[in-house]
A and B are shown apart, each in its own frame.
Chain A
Amino acid sequence: MSGEVKIIEKERISTNAVMLFGFPDVGLVGVIAASHLISELKLDEVAFLDSELLPPLIVLHEGLPHSSIRVFGNNEVLLAVSETPVSADVIYPIMNALIDWGKSKNVKMMISLSGIPIEQRQDAEKLEVFAAASSPEMLKMVQDKGVEVLKEGYMVGPQAIMLQRCANMGTPALTLLAQCFLNYPDPEAATEVLKGLEKVTGIKVDTSKLLEKGEEIRLRARDVMKRTQQELSKMKKAQEYDIPVYVS
């Protein structure tokens, strides 16, 4: 099914980059963080995804059409970002195509940026960042860099597919999850996930603007959050709250 998804390259793609994913999920953490990375690192659009599996939707920027799923990048970073939530029915072929494409570019690591909802988020003074990894070596690496590991639980969504596929292919991968609101855009959580990214990869961006523009981001992201909420419920995202039955 991956053949129905094409990644069209607009520019020469660097090899040995770190590939990041920012897809709509809880608190829109990944998308907000990705958008900030694009603007702070001045990343250019280097590729986009074309597929009839996606709804008939384009995003207009400066009057010109763009795919809703694009890859931005420079010599060190490739960042796949989706501006609309990806439906549960097509998330596998879409993610698989992006992951296989990243693998073909010899990326040294894949990292998805996302969130993990907590109940008393409104009162939380400090938001923690957790990591899940594709291999014991990657797990050790994140622990050595001071990021806490998400030891047991379920993961639902694009990051789950990314982690599993990379584990199967032997590609080093991580998912970084910042504690966040479930159903509200959370720029503070995006800031924390970017700090986690810096710890792990050294990719550093100034996050002060993210916090300054927090209210504006929350207002602007309402519609995407609402649609993401609908897709997450179809994906049975609430399963992340479940306590797993231990199978060794």
Chain B
Amino acid sequence: MAARKKRSIFEIVEEYFEGMEEGVERLGETLTEKPSWNCRACTMEPLHNIMIAPDEVTVTVDLPFAEEKTIQVKPIDVNTIEISAKMRRTIRFEDFGITHYRGEFQTFHCRMYIPVPVRMEKMETRFKRGMLEIRIPR
């Protein structure tokens, strides 16, 4: 019978944390499994991303069909911003060939949590080619 390799305490701890990380990842995926639209509020959630640099946080939001003058970026608290924008045209499920849902959308809406302290009052935004960029100094 082959002797069982004795594991060091570091290997055991590493394995434990890897298992925890996987569990958290799975839980995160389960919790974020939701439609990217809300029929009651007539809103669509835009794709958005966050990049954290040593001196600033950059948030980008893809807003196709957004009307530039309606874009709003509001700090909700010290770590959260809310982004909304009206669309130039109403989007319906039928536009995508979908007939088993009913609903139409006129607005983009999302909230983003900024995981590091930032100076919200120094926030700057620009909108180019349908893409919103928000820069917030740290």
A and B from one assembly? yes
For A, the interface residue count at a CB cutoff of 8 angstroms equals 17
| Contact in complex: B129, A226 (CB < 8 Å) | no
| Contact in complex: A122, B131 (CB < 8 Å) | yes
Interface: A219 (CB within 8 A): yes
Interface: A216 (CB within 8 A): yes
- In angstroms, Cα B128 to Cα A36, docked, is 25
- The dominant DSSP class at the B interface is mixed
Q: Which of A123, A216, A223, A226 contacts B64, CB < 8 Å?
A: A216
Which size class do B's interface residues fall under?
10 to 19
- In angstroms, Cα B133 to Cα A123, docked, is 11
Chain B residue at minimum C-beta to C-beta distance from A217: B64
Interface: B91 (CB within 8 A): yes
Interface: B62 (CB within 8 A): yes
Interface: B79 (CB within 8 A): no
Interface: B125 (CB within 8 A): no
The answer to whether A123 and B128 touch (CB under 8 A), given A184-B47, A222-B46, is: yes
| Contact in complex: B62, A184 (CB < 8 Å) | yes
- 9 new A-B contacts, CB < 8 A, other than A219-B91, A222-B44, A222-B45, are A122-B128, A122-B133, A182-B49, A184-B60, A214-B64, A218-B64, A219-B65, A223-B36, A230-B29
- Give A residues with C-beta under 8 Å from B: 122-123, 182-185, 214-216, 218-220, 222-223, 225-226, 230
